[in-house]
Structure formats: structure tokens, C-alpha cells
Amino acid sequence: RKEVEQDPGPFNVPEGATVAFNCTYSNSASQSFFWYRQDCRKEPKLLMSVYSSGNEDGRFTAQLNRASQYISLLIRDSKLSDSATYLCVVKGGSQGNLIFGKGTKLSVKP
Amino acid sequence: GAGVSQSPSNKVTEKGKDVELRCDPISGHTALYWYRQRLGQGLEFLIYFQGNSAPDKSGLPSDRFSAERTGESVSTLTIQRTQQEDSAVYLCASSLERTSIPQESQYFGPGTRLTVL
């Protein structure tokens, strides 16, 4: 089983749609969780951390389910500018290395 | 303040040549990471520095790859006798510390796009 798994997509949605991505991780000792965003031919940038109680940042909501070892990202009212690849990232175990998923590609169409 | 910078931004080289890639992390960031990203693929961890030491070299794909860091600042990734499969974007990231701050994330540089002909 891969350490961090994501559906690669692509998710093609119209503007204004709500879209959700899920991610699963294999190391139950993982401590911290993040969503990064990567635009085409650009470096990854932190979108938001994921807290145990769930957290929201504007149109973006992240949730963590430790029992099932999955993380989700919900984007409401999608904008054209949301088109990117969304990377699920897990900080695991005693070493604390960041493990990146391969990303889910989102394309928002007019 | 300044972010992570990398140079060169693009490098085209011939098979068999050596290349050196440079990373300047955010000032004060003690942890520094190198990743490789092939076209259309995810990030592949190469090596991690805490200060000038590299406790985790597990991702280096072969002994042709080496990296060093000096002054707890600049790092160089060296690839000897480059092969075509080394073609990728090499990304550097830095963070304050590796483990003590659970939600501490990494900040990435723009990458070096390496093409081996």
C-alpha cells in the first residue's frame, strides 16, 4: 500500500461547483497533515494545514478522520483560478518527514 | 522576506556531464529538503538536512547523486555522469525545524528544470 494515496483525477467541474478530494495514508503514527496546491510547471505551495477538529479557510474546508486514516478537502463555489493539482501531504512518525501524494488534478471550466 | 531561491532555473546538459544545482533556503530555516519531480509525476524525496548534517539520505537514487550544505544555509545537489532519466525538476524546500513543530510546513523554491540530452 502506498504511503499516501490520492485519486489522480482529473476532476472537471463548472464554475461555482462544489468539489471534494479524498486522500488515504498508511502510517497510523502520522502526526500532521496538509494540503498543498501545485500549478502547472510551478512549485507546490501550502494551501492549508488539516487539524483534527476540521478547519475552514474561506471556500476551503479540510477534515481528518484518524480512525479511517483519510483526509478530505472540500472546495465550494469553485473559481477558474482553483484549477491546479492538489497534493495531500502527511508528516509521519518520529522522523517527521513529509510524504507527498501524487496529487489530484482539478480543472474548473467556465 | 525572501523565499527559497534556486539556481539555475533551467539547465540543459549532455549525457555524462556533471551538474550542480544550488538552493538558498529562507533565512533561519534549519531544515532543508531536496525533491525530484519528473514530468507528470509526484514529488520524490531525495535528501534532508538538519543544519549541515544529512540524517536522511534514503531517497538518493544512486551514488551519482550527492548533496552538501554549508553554514546552515546554501545547499548544492550534485549529479555526476548525468543520464537521460535524471531529467526532471529538482525542487528545494526549507522549514524551521523538522519535528518539533507539528504543523510546520515546508516552503518550496521555484525549482531547477534539468534536461539531459
- pLDDT over threshold 70, residue A94: no
Inter-chain CB pairs, A–B, below 8 Å: 47
Residue A53, pLDDT score: 87
B42 contacts in chain A (CB < 8 Å): 87, 100-103
- Reduced to 3 states, what is the DSSP secondary structure of residue B50? strand
Using an 8 Å Cβ cutoff, are B59 and B83 in contact? no
> Could you list the pLDDT tens digit for every one of the 117 residues in chain B?
589 999 999 999 999 999 999 999 999 898 899 999 998 888 988 998 989 998 878 889 999 999 999 988 999 999 999 999 999 999 999 988 755 555 667 899 999 999 999
Residue B103, pLDDT score: 63
Interchain proximity A31–B102, CB inside 8 Å: yes
Task: Please tell me if residue A93 touches chain B, with a CB cutoff of 8 Å.
Answer: no
Identify which of B35, B43, B56 has the shortest CB distance to residue A95.
B56
Cα B62 from chain centroid (whole Å): 15
Interchain proximity B98–A103, CB inside 8 Å: no
Half-sphere exposure of B84 (CA within 13 A, CB side): 1
Backbone angles phi, psi at A13, to 5 degrees: -130, 155
- Round to whole Å and give the CA distance between A44 and A56: 20
Task: Please tell me if residue A49 touches chain B, with a CB cutoff of 8 Å.
Answer: yes
- Round to whole Å and give the CA distance between B48 and B50: 7
Q: How far is A32 from chain B (nearest CA, A)?
A: 6
Q: Which string of b and e fits B43-62 if b means at least 16 CB within 10 Å?
A: bbbbbbbbeeebebeebbee
Residue B61, pLDDT score: 92
Residue A33, pLDDT score: 92
